[in-house]
Chain A
Amino acid sequence: MSCLETIQNYAFRSMGFGERLLPRSDFTLCDQFTLIGSGLIWNVYFGVIALGLGFFLAVAVATAKASKNPLLRKPAEWYIFIFRGSPLFIQFFFAYELFVLLPRLGTDINLGFVEITVETRWLTKAWLGALFVLFLNTGAYSAEIFYGALRSIPKGDVEAADAYGITGWPRFRKIIWPTMLRLAWPAYTNEAIFLFHATTLVFFSGFPSWQQRGDALYYASYFADKTFNPFVPYPILAFYFILLTLCVIGVYGAINKRLNKHLPENQAAKLKIKPQILR
């Protein structure tokens, strides 16, 4: 089988298209590159959607934690503490068991609500359930980052706004929000990188991979198991992840540039990339 055929057969294997059976023997380098790359689709999917949705949750939670009202502040503090204080791995396991149990509880309470039972069934699948956990997790980590940025907004900026009579929503929208994003952005870039790395945990925790559709690490460990040779699939995986990390840095760097556009060159915050924090 030529390499082109392999790519045709397996490029979208992780999404269920193409050849059903995974290659069983005589693995070529091309096989491994294609399948692991195909698994990377899942990592990108989890990472992009969790980050995109988690951003809004994070901003909401950060403002709640910074608020004076204890009814808003306490739940936000607890939420951040629970998701940042426990391992993501355990969160995955716990969430999976919870989602498995949900329909049983759900049908007891409200019979006839077909929609709810359908929804909870989807939660046990990785594409929604794991996404949900990742979304909550990145929400908590980025909320802490945004909260820190909120607290380090120069006091003079806010006071100046008060002096001009800008209060409430316009003050948040025009003064606090842009500064908060600008201050938080370097740390938030790191968070994005960690999240992409954390997506590799999904299929190794409770969530089963259905019809052998897994992420990049799932296929890499499949090859390592079958060939008993870790020296080929894992470096390929590393190669893909370094590419992915570089893409993330590129995108976030562009946004960072835009956020710092108005500042003189030497004051603009440089993106300092410190990848890799495990959760």
Chain B
Amino acid sequence: MSFYASFGTVLMLLAVTAPTALLFGFFGATAARSHIAPLRWFGKGYTAIVRGVPDIAFFLFFVIALDQAFEYVRHKTLCSDWTEPVRQGSDFVVCAAAKLPLSSSPQWVHEAYGFLLAVLTFSIVFGAFAANVLYGGMRAVPHAQLQTGEAYGMSRRQVFWRILMPQMWIYALPGLSNLWMILIKATPLLFLLGVEDIVYWARELGGSKSSAFSYPHPDWRIYYFLGLLVFYLAMTKISEIVFEKLMTKLSLGQATTGGGSAAGGAA
């Protein structure tokens, strides 16, 4: 049963991560085109670093780093009278009250915390990709339209919210749909973050030496993985179709090649 539930875990991760990553990406993109230099550097640096390094390294890095950061902050606030250093050789020691999750808390809290860390990590990494896509989308909006807005006496903020925002999505959509595909294909990496996802259960249930069955059975893992393969193929195919529909709908009435006729994408 947990195997089937783990499909739910994956879908939930997708559902939670996609908007969060979009939010991160939005802030990243607006920061990258900000007029305040440090903010702009931050936005550009964020996208550049995340994109230049294998993301699996980021997944492994952020889970530990975020965990330690949370515990460190709690440690500083909760036990201020603690005098020993936090890093003792190869150990990371915080006081018992600062442990996250508390060692006394039930099992589901531990699992939820692991899931939360995974979502945050995914959002940070994919936020950088999304920032890049949205940045490209913002730059693709015809400049003359923004100037027209300013000529009518709109402030920078108004131009951003009323002219740039509604129009950038159509330019960003091909990139975003690509990103969604990548996100789908990245979900099996949850396994590396220690979440009990479908890969974990496929290995567990399929393995001949598993504890899930009381009777021995031959090695079924190949069939489980075949199932997963088909699951992911179906997911990508369905999203492809949905995005195509969305694209034709959004291109209506836009100043792109796809806008003139209802058929054909703007990509």
Contacts and interface: CB of A to CB of B under 8 A. Distances in A.
Interface in A233-248: 234, 237-238, 241-242, 245
Contact of B53 (A227, A228, A238): A238
A100 B222 CA distance: 9
Interface stretch (A3-11, A86-94, A262-270): A86-94
B54 A197 contact: yes
A241 B53 contact: yes
B189 A277 contact: no
A101 B219 contact: yes
Interface size range of chain A in the complex? 35 or more
B232 A237 contact: no
A245 B237 CA distance: 31
Contact of B226 (A94, A217, A278): A94
Contacts of B90: 25, 226-229
Contact of B236 (A25, A85, A228, A238): A85
B65 A90 contact: no
Contact of A228 (B52, B91, B184, B206): B91
Given A85-B237, A90-B228, A276-B51, A217 B92 contact: no
A234 B92 contact: no
A212 interface: no
Contacts of B237: 81, 85
Given A204-B192, A278-B185, A241 B64 contact: no
A49 interface: no
A231 B232 contact: no
A200 interface: yes
A44 interface: no
B255 interface: no
Given A87-B185, A90-B199, A101-B219, A234 B61 contact: yes
A126 to B, nearest CB: 16
Contact of A85 (B178, B219, B232): B232
Nearest to B192: A204
B233 A217 contact: no
B229 A200 contact: no
B233 A86 contact: yes
A100 B219 CA distance: 10
B204 to A, nearest CB: 13
Contacts of A119: none
Interface string A183-222: 0000000000000011011001000000000000100110
B225 A93 contact: yes
Interface in A157-206: 197-198, 200-201, 204
A203 to B, nearest CB: 11
Contacts of B232: 85-87, 90
A57 interface: no
A88 B91 CA distance: 34
A228 B229 contact: no
Interface string B176-188: 0010001011111
A198 B228 CA distance: 20
Contacts of B203: 93
Contacts of B206: 97
Contacts of B50: 276
Interface string A60-103: 00000000000000000000011001111111011001101100
Interface string A114-136: 00000000000000000000000
Nearest to B58: A234
A15 interface: no
Q: Which 4 residue pairs of A and B lie closest in terms of their CB atoms, listed nearest first? A: A97-B222, A197-B54, A276-B51, A94-B225
Given A85-B237, A97-B222, 9 more contacts: A81-B237, A82-B229, A87-B186, A87-B187, A87-B232, A93-B202, A200-B56, A228-B90, A230-B64
8 contacts: A25-B90, A82-B233, A90-B199, A93-B199, A217-B60, A238-B53, A242-B53, A276-B53
Interface of B: 49-57, 60-61, 64-65, 68, 87, 90-92, 129, 132, 178, 182, 184-189, 191-192, 199, 202-203, 206, 219, 221-222, 225-226, 228-229, 232-233, 236-237
Interface of A: 25, 81-82, 85-91, 93-94, 97-98, 100-101, 197-198, 200-201, 204, 217, 220-221, 224, 226-231, 234, 237-238, 241-242, 245, 274-279
